[in-house]
Amino acid sequence: MDFNSYIRDIKDFPKEGIVFKDITPLLKDAKAMKRAANSLFDLVGGRKIDKVVGMESRGFFFAPLLASKLEAGFIPVRKAGKLPYRTISEVYTLEYGEDILEIHEDAIQKGERILIHDDVLATGGTAEAVRKLIEKMGGEIVQCNFLIELDFLNGKDKLKGCEVKSLLHY
């Protein structure tokens, strides 16, 4: 299936000069969404996964589907102050400043095998912060898995030592 035809470019969003990759056309088509979920699952290649970690907010679309298919738990990583239980946090750099990501302190046990999933790998800052959180907790990252990778931004460079797989490349 040509998933590219389900990705809509939005110029100058969220700010001038950015071309935003809008995945909502893919999400609203049941067959395309199912095939994308199956293709993301196939990228894992039969590896044993204990937990799938999805990042706020668009990582929440496919990460629970992957967790279900992998018979693994789903762990949300959210921006500061959004999770109800005790958390650990990681500060990360954005192109316009800093932000904080948090995970529940009991979400991952030492030695658990983790799949990180998000919709887009751009500069890699968010994924790098999530990787650091998982490593602090003693989790073993099996793969970083993305619907879209923006190759020209070299986000993969921030994930050295992690296997990175993406369904679409731009």
CATH number, domain 46-169, options 3.20.190.10, 3.40.50.720, 3.40.50.460, 3.40.50.2020 = 3.40.50.2020
Active site residue 58: yes
Give residue 94's pLDDT: 76
pLDDT at 93 over 90: no
Residue ranges of the domains in the chain?
46-169
* pLDDT over 80 (residue 84): yes
Tell me what the pLDDT averaged over the chain comes to: 96
pLDDT of residue 149: 98
Q: Which of 58, 113, 135, 163 is catalytic?
A: 58
Residue-wise pLDDT tens digits, 31-83: 999 999 999 999 999 999 999 999 999 999 999 999 999 999 999 999 999 99
Percent of the chain with pLDDT over 90: 95
The answer to whether residue 95 is catalytic is: yes
Average pLDDT in the 19-35 region? 97
Q: From the candidates 16, 71, 86, 95, which is the catalytic residue?
A: 95
Is the pLDDT confidence value at 97 over 80? no
Residue 1 scores a pLDDT above 70:
yes
What would the pLDDT profile of 136-162 be if each residue is shown by its tens digit? 999 999 999 999 999 999 999 999 999
Q: What is the pLDDT of residue 6?
A: 98
Q: Supply the pLDDT for residue 95.
A: 67
The answer for residues whose C-beta is within 8 angstroms of residue 168's C-beta and 6 or more apart is: 3, 4, 7, 147, 148, 149
3-state secondary structure 6-43: HCEEEECCCCCCCEEEECHHHHHCHHHHHHHHHHHHHH
Comparing CA positions, the residue from 99, 66, 30 lying closest to residue 167 is 66
